[in-house]
Amino acid sequence: MFRILRGSAIVFIVSILVLIPIRGHAAPILRLGDTGQAVITLQQMLAQTGFSPGPVDGYFGPRTLAALKSFQSTYGLVPDGICGPLTWAALERASEVSRNLGRLRGITIVLDAGHGGKEPGAISPWGDKEKDFTLPITLKTREYLERYGARVILTRYGDYSPGWDWWQPVDELLARVSLANSNAADIFVSIHCNAYPKDPAVSGVMAFYRAGSAESARLAWNLAGPVARTSGLELLGVQEGPYYVLNHTYMPAVLMELGFMTNWHDVSLLRQNWFQDALAQGIVRGILSYFGR
């Protein structure tokens, strides 16, 4: 009897040691190929600590593996790419630190990559699709914002129409604003590229804000300047815009038009990784200045 009790006591103690709670739940051991909610938690924590795992999609794929290994070696762990108790504990500590130090801690930002899926947006005379520019700019912006400790929600993470995969599929515009409203986002930033077929010489950036919202106007002005500076594009205007995503969101909302799909100079730049990055950095600087951080 005593031996049985002692045996179960050891099992009990071992269980406590192994199951270090992560955010109130026991943390499972995760490896390449795993899927599910725990993988999403892992990906969020990696992103939070500056190790980009690719899309936060609940799939432990090669990008999550690479991010995890690089996290492990940075934090003096065995870089075996397996997320066990020691790695969970280190992630918890590291993401706690970055949450507490980040200049955008406690702030929720919804980034809305324009178009997607069957909706290409504007198409350039050379065949480029607007949706293929808005997504990488949005993903790069997210990466910087998460490094500053912000909670970032995207309306789409790939080339699809937001809302199509919902339990009850909804219209893409409704999906975009619902995500922002239901997550009580602090700001909403929609990312687009402009088109003006009448005059292919027109180039530059514009920022649109919700009519009658002083806070949206302030957000637009804060973003427009830095975006023009980091991209080197001319600032054509900051003005009210009659757009659905601006009129149906409850928080300060802005729609950025980053370059013209009808202008060869802008399109040739939009195709470049460094230029997409410059636009993302401009947006992030603008957000930091809007929040006074």
- Which residues here bind Zn ion, judged by CB under 5 A? 114, 121, 192
Which tokens hold the place of 250? 């409850």
Identify whether the C-beta of residue 109 lies closer than 8 Å to the C-beta of residue 121: no
Nearer to Zn ion, 81 or 114 (CB): 114
Of 241 and 252, CB closest to Zn ion: 241
- Residue 221 has φ and ψ, to the nearest 5°, of -65, -40
Looking at the Cβ atoms of 104 and 270, the one nearer to Zn ion is 270
Q: Indicate the residue whose CB is closest to Zn ion.
A: 192
Shortest Cβ 114–Zn ion spacing (Å)? 4
**Considering beta carbons, is residue 121 or 259 the nearer one to Zn ion?**
121
- From CA 128, how far away is CA 244, in angstroms rounded? 25
User: Which C-beta is closer to Zn ion: that of 90 or that of 256?
Assistant: 256
Report the nearest approach of Zn ion to the CB of residue 102 (Å): 30
Q: 159: which 2 tokens?
A: 């080339």
Look at the block and give the residue holding tokens 């593996």: 65
- Smallest gap, in angstroms, from Cβ of residue 121 to Zn ion? 4
Helix (H, G, I), strand (E, B) or coil at 147: helix
Q: Cα-flanking dihedrals φ and ψ of residue 33, to 5°?
A: 100, -15
In angstroms, the CA 109 to CA 262 distance is 30
DSSP state of 149: T
- Least CB distance from residue 130 to Zn ion, whole Å? 5
| Cα gap 31→106, rounded to integer Å | 30
In the complex, minimum distance from the CB of residue 192 to Zn ion, in angstroms, rounded to a whole number: 3
Closer CB to Zn ion, 12 or 126, in the complex: 126
Residue 268 has phi, psi (to 5 degrees) of -65, -30
Q: How far is the CB of 160 from Zn ion (least distance, A)?
A: 16
| Least distance between Zn ion and beta carbon 129 (Å) | 10
Cβ distance to Zn ion smaller for residue 121 or 286: 121
Q: Give 192's strand partners.
A: 257
Looking at the DSSP bridge assignments, the partners of residue 26 are: 21
Evaluate whether 289 touches 277 at the Cβ level (below 8 Å).
no
